[in-house]
Structure 1
């Protein structure tokens, strides 16, 4: 089978090799599955805290490992839907070349493999620019519209800018869905057919901020590192953070900055924040890159015991900082299921199915807040390392 998976615009073999290695590792550690793909999944609003006391340390560790495999699963199975064709051709573009979308690609690849085992070929292209750009995303959508794809999928870089391009494609008879972390929804005026991914980014930002406020005793100055300006997931998390902080009179936002989903830029911005606000107490990070950059800057400044960091997702370095107590909490998304369900929904859209009994208009995936006590198990599950 021919399958293109391009990381940025690099040679596809590089990412395919990475994805396959991660799949083999993940399959070894994966234990259980929550629900069938294609169905809505609720956000995990209960953070994964230290487990209840049990009679033996071994039982405690087993329980924790089981909890982790419920958060990041690698064993979804295709539902009972019977595709009407023997071959499909999809195009997916996302905000920026970044490891977060490599994790989504694992689910995409696994779903395609399971379809192949049923005799159904899924060809796809999986593309992103090296730097986030709504204009570049619009160009890529335009190029894809001139080729023979059954479905075009987009992780929206900017709702206001990209929605008109999506609507133009729909009116020209193209089948367009959104996926991953950023939707352009019906209420935004977008005519996309369906969305698969995180439907609760606002709540994720709010939950992380509540954890930070509690840790600080509801008192202190904080800064918010957002990510890409206009990206719905980043903006929604930042809005959730701001609204939570507004509830507490002794909490104060001293800066809101955009790091463009860059570790290096978030590091530099955090350096400036620390230098400009000697009494800074917390940092709220709204994407997967900025917890890493923020932690590096805090360590460099020797303020690990003074600044509380919360942020998003499963970056290995971020999880190591969580394990070491540099980062206080991370919101981990189920990227695998996002990718897996994206393929299942794309097949149904290609067959002409509209949202309803076959699949929902919005397929909701989970996010779970984890703390230091879960970091080692998460590192082993995702990366095969405990140290």
Structure 2
């Protein structure tokens, strides 16, 4: 009997021991899973840090492009990626930009952001690359392009046109001073302005181009004033420099109470609103363009879905919000 009891006790002890061993084995996969998660997280972080985005803007030597560059640098810091940011000496240094493109692509990058000076030649230089290409500010048909990041120019100009129409009223007359005739950006802005005028019963009596030059714009505006015998209530411009030139001509001609709208929203343009030189500007979010361009490039490298058009929006700046917006612009460049 004693032997039987001892035998039963021995079997029970063995069962408890086996159960304890099984419990330890069940805990092991959980520890391994946690380690694997940590490792995967570290690997993802490392891979993000290894991403290199090449960015070539139209230039780095202007106020507008300094905002785009600030956005690029901010995205690089926030997203933890390496960015090679370059730009030619001016917006007419076509060969310099093309040479930069060749060198950058040969150097090895994971994604490429470009604001083309000459769309066709830039597309030719880029060729059939095997990395994501993102156009910023100015779109172009480029092989490998996955997205365009920039302003919806038609929509933005339409907003500026509505502001002018409300200020001047139905039955007034407007003129448009464009940038470069035949340029896609100029065409889109003209279309937006035109739509706003037509919808509000305002006649566009003249459309001329000033090559985005304030002195040329002043001459063009002077000729328009003469041709229309001063019967002009609205001047819609394709950039802030053109608006400043038009304002100079209006002042010299003694033409008052004219609603002058610019485009871009640079500090100089916003200051002109504060000073009463022009009425408003269609402010592009240049900083956001730079930031979103890098962000879109990184998403593309990671295989994430991106929109083919990332609209960075527009804000009409007038005397109501000019001072606040000017401080915002200054903050980007600190």
TM-score normalised according to structure 2 size: 0.73
Offset of residue 223 of structure 1: 2.0
Structure with the larger helix share: 2
Cα distance in 2 for residues equivalent to 1:95 and 1:313: 16
**Paired position in structure 1 for 2:70:** 106
- For 1:220 and 1:242, the matched residues in 2 are separated by 14
Q: Alpha-carbon deviations, 1:300-340, whole Å to 9, x = none?
A: 3333x232101223222321221233322222222222111
- What pairs with 1:310-321 in structure 2 (closer than 5 Å)? 310-321=261-272
1:324 counterpart = 2:275: yes
Q: Which residue of 2 aligns with 1:182?
A: 138
Matches within 5 A, 1:146-295: 146-157=106-117, 161=120, 165-166=122-123, 169=126, 171-179=128-136, 181-184=137-140, 191-198=144-151, 200-247=152-199, 250-259=202-211, 261-277=212-228, 278-295=230-247
Q: Residue 178 of structure 1: CA displacement?
A: 0.4
Compared CA separation, residues 373 and 364, structure 1 to 2 (3 A)? same
Which residue is equivalent to 1:65?
A: none
Q: Which has the higher contact order (CA 8 A, sep 6+)?
A: 1
Task: Please tell me whether Structure 1 or Structure 2 has the larger radius of gyration of its CA atoms.
Answer: 2
Q: Secondary structure at the match of 1:373?
A: coil
Contact 1:267/1:294, CA 8 A, preserved across alignment: yes
Q: Deviations over 1:254-296 (max 9, x none)?
A: 122142x333333343333334432222211122432222223
Q: Are residues 1:362 and 2:312 paired?
A: no
Superposed, which structure 2 residues align to 1:346-385 within 5 Å?
Answer: 346-349=297-300, 351=301, 353=303, 356=305, 359-383=306-330
Q: Give the unaligned 5+ runs of structure 2.
A: 1-43
**Inter-CA distance 302–276: structure 2 relative to 1 (3 Å threshold):** same
Query: Structure 2: how far apart are the matches of 1:328 and 1:273?
Result: 19
Q: CA RMSD in A?
A: 3.1
CA distance 1:300–1:143, change in 2 (3 Å): farther
Asked if structure 1 preserves the Cα contact closer than 8 Å seen for 2:317 and 2:325, the reply is no
| Cα distance in 2 for residues equivalent to 1:229 and 1:174 | 33
| CA distance in structure 2 between the partners assigned to 1:131 and 1:234 by the alignment | 16
CA deviation profile, 1:43-82 (whole Å, cap 9, x unmatched)? xxxxxxxxxxxxxxxxxxxxxxxxxxxxxxxxxxxxxx85
Does the CA-based 8 Å contact 2:98-2:125 persist in structure 1? Answer: no
Taking structure 1 as reference, are residues 352 and 110 closer, same or farther at Cα in structure 2, changes over 3 Å only? closer
The alignment partner of 1:253 has SS state of: strand
CA contact (8 A) 1:220 1:281 kept: yes
How much does 1:202 deviate? 0.5
**Alignment equivalent of 1:94, drawn from 43, 58, 65:** 58
**Contact persistence 1:95–1:155 (CA under 8 A):** no
Count of equivalent residues: 286
Change (3 A) 1:129 1:174: farther
Identify which range, 217-226 or 189-198, moves more after superposition.
189-198
| Runs (5+) with no aligned partner, structure 1 | 1-80
